[in-house]
Amino acid sequence: MASITALRSAMTTAAMPRSPEASDMPLMSSEALVLENVTRAFGALRAVDDVSLSVLAGEKRAILGANGAGKTT
């Protein structure tokens, strides 16, 4: 229940004014998701090792593998 309250609070909070540096930031690219050199280990077992992935806005990707292969990781 606390998470719903926090979410509602975040959604109704007034937007913060833009900082002067915001205009100096590069325009957003069409990439919706970018992962670079991701590694995830459980003890000595590396489930994911140095994985990079870029998904463009509107693009669909699937991760396929056997049950228990670590797709969710």
What tens digit of pLDDT does each residue of 26-69 get?
556 677 889 999 998 889 988 888 999 888 888 888 888 889 87
pLDDT at 46: 87
Instruction: Please report which helix (H) or strand (E) contains residue 52, including its range.
Output: strand 45-56
Name the band, by pLDDT with cuts 50, 70 and 90, for residue 18: low
Q: Residue 23 has what pLDDT?
A: 57
Contact 22, 13 (CB under 8 A): no
Q: How confident is the model at residue 3 (pLDDT cuts 50, 70, 90)?
A: low
Confidence of residue 5 (pLDDT cuts 50, 70, 90): confident
| Beta-bridge partner residues of 19 | none
**54 touches 30 (CB < 8 A):** no
